[in-house]
Chain A
Amino acid sequence: MMSTGRFAPALAAFAVALPMLAVLVAVIQGASGADAELWAHLREYVLARVAWNTVLLVVGVVLIALALGTALAWLTAACEFPGRAFFSWALLLPMAMPAYVLAFVAVATLDYAGAVPVALRAWFGDGLWLPPIRSTGGVILVLALAAYPYVYLMARGAFLTHGARALEAAQSLGLGPWAGLFRVAVPLARPWLAGGAALVAMETLADFGAVSVFNYDTFTTAIYKSWFGLFSIETALGLALLLMLLVAAALGVERLARGRARYSASDSGARAASRLELPGARGWLACAAAAAVFAAGFLLPLIVIARWAWDVAPLDFDARYGSYVLRTLALAGMAAAACLALALVLGYATRVSQGRVTQAAARIATLGYAVPGAVLAVGVVGALGAVDGWWRGLAGGEGLWLQGTVLALLLGYVARFLAVAHGPVQGGFARIRPSLEEAARGLGLNAREVVTRLHLPLLGAGIGSALLLVFVDVMKEMPITLMTRPFGWDTLAVRVFEMTAEGEWERAALPALVIVLAGLLPVVLLTWRMERAARAA
């Protein structure tokens, strides 16, 4: 068993990284044709500005998402206030709201010609000044509202396990709840907060839909412009490669900064947290804060799109929606299952082997989340096209073999979303004390039994989070679905795209609404289970 210890994990990790590696090869191959003259143009007029914009956006979104996610997770996990039970799951719901939908609702209702400023000017006169929503602040706020649930979910998991002890420790030191949060709970939860922040940062880097609605130029919009406008897919791929290098470097720095510190829980099982009662006005203040975030990130936009959907439903709602919903759920479910399985393999491999090769494979495998979906899709079809060509050369015949199948679509999803499953699974592994494994081995369990009887049961919450995150992300995904789907595999997100591409945003409200409603199901299911598991422990 020990003899396989060195190579098996590295091999397994590389197998998991294979889809992303194939994509990477296709991207590098494409980027090698980049046009030197275009590069010079981009360097002179474009790169500095979009780099600054991108940094501003990512830093802003990550900071706000971290603040919202951590504070709200602490409130619902470690404190008691009116409405806590409701908000503990409701605050996850903005996750089901695609960022591009939130962005459009914000711009359509809050920009100069939107209903809110029009009404305000009618009351207070035309001279009324309102902060422009189409601004850096506006786009940061919208993306942070869409992304904070990643942090919330990861932080909540950490606080539910550490929360009680952190609180006890804080109280024994004579610290209040907020001091307890900052001086004990946050430092203890650092890997999970960092994991959530990394997901938020990558999601923000890759976002195209929301920043386009705001016409806010980022690295991603520059990639699109090189491709769509300058007709140079090669230059676009080159830019994407640069972006990936920067992300890999940033993640590496974060890992170095964290060093070899171990963060496993001091008691592995979650103990029912004795929550801190927030009395009177402070309790209601907590309730108001949670309600404000819930309203801005979910309830109000939901009401707006429901209103639009109501107007267009007679034009658009028919039997096809049954097929859209089924296919959307089927793809999301399959992708979630595939990503989870691979994330478990990867998590296990990186746990048993700290070797450089294994770690490098893990980093490559999870890089896809930071790349704009459309670029990744180009890599995916490039790789699939190569495989198809190779297969036809070998087996003869004509037509596509892999491309245009559901399997091709799933490979694309795995390349893009493995990081989303990897984060929570990795966080779950980190919480398991190595001494537990040693004890289990001491009791005579073999490696397989350690996995099935120790790891998997203890990974429960991480597994749930991973499934949920991938499921919801795939439901909202557009570019890979568009570019690699087989005939007839139109999903709800495809429908949204078809409407918005012709500027008919209000008509896109119907499929968007169905995405949100269908996304509620797994969110509610998961939080209910997490709640129950925490209570039972």
Chain B
Amino acid sequence: MKSSVYQALGLVATLGLTLVGAPEAIAAGDPLVVYTARKYQLVDQLFQEYGRERGIEVKFVTDDGAPLIARLTAEGANSPADLLITVDAGDLWRATQAGLLQPVKSPMLEAAIPAHLRDPQGHWFGLAVRARTIAYSTARVKPADLSTYAALGDARWKGRLCLRSGKHAYNQSLVAMMIGDLGEQETERVVRSWIANLAAEPFSSDTLMLKAVAAGQCDVAITNSYYLGRLQAEDPSFPVQIFWADQGGRGTHVNISGGGVTTHAKNRAEAIRFLEWLASPGIQQRFAAVNYEFPANAGVEPLPTVVAWGKFQPNLVNVGTIGRTQPAAVKLMDRAGWR
């Protein structure tokens, strides 16, 4: 038994050393290095396409936003990263606060991306828009009964509301936005009224929650629209529909997936050029379409599935404010018992 164990160990060690020692292939131009929280299946094709167009290598690693920020912080000036892409404005705000992103002046980006979806100083730019709004059962709810986020706390929704976990950034950013609009006290009252109306313990994912609406465990929920887009694409008769919240008021809450150039970028010019390329009309359509999101570039139409939900008025407050109020939102949700 023993000798073969050691043989195996030796083999593994040799294999390991070969892999460690293998020198990296060196491309013609300087490579562009991206740290991205937008995942492989949503970015790989476009990244490779850009690389081919420019004759450079686009290297990237994926992870959640917070670990990528921690990685950038630890690497400091030695970091190879040129660009940080996240799926939450709060993370971009956080990275800016930590001094990890640098301001960029680009007339093209400023023209293409609406002001509320980018940092006024140019530290980051929204590339795709995700709307968090109300989803309802087409079998048991009349859209006329729906109006605002806050109204989901009304007595008529007792035992009929489903929510995702309060630990998720999308809910935290919704509450952060509400604090900006309604103030902390009123927001806490609303959140408490939601918790009192819950039909089930909060869910770990929007998809599971929407399936619970379809199955009859609850009648209304708060979701990012693209999760429903995926379910509707799989099953066009999925009995859940989108309602745009707060249309009479400040508008539906939106968050962004966006990016910014890192402070210690080695390939700054290429990183800016890449952001501009991602914000250009033809690419914008595809960048958003792979995930049923809305293009950040207002001149670009989303997918037909998404268009079918109708036009909506987004809340125009700058998405960067989400980051500033998010810690207050999380504490508020702790107090209100949003698990």
Interface residues of chain A, those whose CB is within 8 Å of chain B, are 38, 41, 45-46, 107-108, 111-113, 118, 126, 132, 134, 212-215, 217, 221, 224-225, 227-233, 316, 327, 330, 333-334, 336-337, 340, 374, 377-378, 381-382, 384-385, 388-389, 392, 398-401, 403-407, 456-457, 460, 463-464, 467, 479, 482-483, 485, 487-488, 490, 494-495, 497-499, 501-505, 529, 532-533
B16 and A229 form a contact (CB under 8 A): no
Closest 9 CB pairs of A and B: A385-B74, A113-B215, A333-B12, A334-B16, A381-B74, A229-B330, A113-B211, A498-B39, A112-B217
Chain B residues 8-62 with CB under 8 Å of chain A are: 9, 12-13, 15-16, 19-20, 24, 33, 37, 39-42, 59-62
B204 and A460 form a contact (CB under 8 A): no
A385 to B74 CA separation, bound complex (whole angstroms): 5
Residues in A whose Cβ lies below 8 Å from that of B70 = 233, 378, 381-382, 483
A401 to B79 CA separation, bound complex (whole angstroms): 10
Residues in A whose Cβ lies below 8 Å from that of B202 = 215
A464 and B5 form a contact (CB under 8 A): yes
The winner among A229, A407, A498 for most chain B CB atoms within 10 A is A229
Residues in A whose Cβ lies below 8 Å from that of B74 = 378, 381-382, 384-385, 403
Whose C-beta in chain A lies nearest to the C-beta of B330? A229
Min C-beta distance of A528 to chain B, whole Å: 11
Extra contacts, 11 of them, besides A231-B327, A405-B20, A498-B39 (Cβ < 8 A), are A46-B334, A113-B217, A118-B215, A228-B169, A230-B327, A334-B15, A334-B16, A400-B80, A403-B78, A460-B2, A487-B60
Residues in A whose Cβ lies below 8 Å from that of B206 = 503
Whose C-beta in chain B lies nearest to the C-beta of A530? B1
Min C-beta distance of B195 to chain A, whole Å: 13
B212 and A381 form a contact (CB under 8 A): no
Residues in B whose Cβ lies below 8 Å from that of A107 = 204, 208
A401 to B2 CA separation, bound complex (whole angstroms): 37
Q: Is B335 an interface residue (CB 8 A)?
A: yes
Whose C-beta in chain B lies nearest to the C-beta of A522? B8
Min C-beta distance of A87 to chain B, whole Å: 23
B212 and A388 form a contact (CB under 8 A): no
Would A215 and B201 be within 8 Å (CB), given that A389-B76, A487-B61, A498-B62 are in contact?
A: yes
Overall SS of chain A's interface = helix
**Residue in B2, B20, B200, B334 whose CB lies within 8 Å of A41:** B334
Whose C-beta in chain A lies nearest to the C-beta of B171? A229
**Residue in A217, A229, A340 whose CB lies within 8 Å of B327:** A229
The winner among B12, B94, B215 for most chain A CB atoms within 10 A is B12
A378 to B41 CA separation, bound complex (whole angstroms): 26
Would A229 and B169 be within 8 Å (CB), given that A112-B200, A498-B39 are in contact?
A: yes
Overall SS of chain B's interface = helix
Interchain residue pairs with CB less than 8 A apart (9): A108-B208, A113-B208, A212-B167, A227-B66, A229-B172, A229-B330, A400-B79, A401-B78, A487-B33
Residues in B whose Cβ lies below 8 Å from that of A227 = 66
Min C-beta distance of A530 to chain B, whole Å: 9
Residues in B whose Cβ lies below 8 Å from that of A217 = 167, 339
A482 to B326 CA separation, bound complex (whole angstroms): 25
B204 and A501 form a contact (CB under 8 A): no
Q: Is B181 an interface residue (CB 8 A)?
A: no
A405 to B24 CA separation, bound complex (whole angstroms): 11
Min C-beta distance of A505 to chain B, whole Å: 7
| B261-305 vs A, Cβ < 8 Å mask (1 yes, 0 no) | 000000000000000000000000000000100000000000000
**Residue in A113, A392, A460, A479 whose CB lies within 8 Å of B78:** A392
A228 and B64 form a contact (CB under 8 A): yes
Whose C-beta in chain B lies nearest to the C-beta of A225? B167
Residues in A whose Cβ lies below 8 Å from that of B330 = 225, 229-230
Q: Is B227 an interface residue (CB 8 A)?
A: yes
Q: Is B71 an interface residue (CB 8 A)?
A: yes
Min C-beta distance of B135 to chain A, whole Å: 14
Q: Is B186 an interface residue (CB 8 A)?
A: no
A406 and B20 form a contact (CB under 8 A): yes
Q: Is B154 an interface residue (CB 8 A)?
A: no
**Residue in B24, B61, B73, B212 whose CB lies within 8 Å of A113:** B212
B80 and A404 form a contact (CB under 8 A): yes
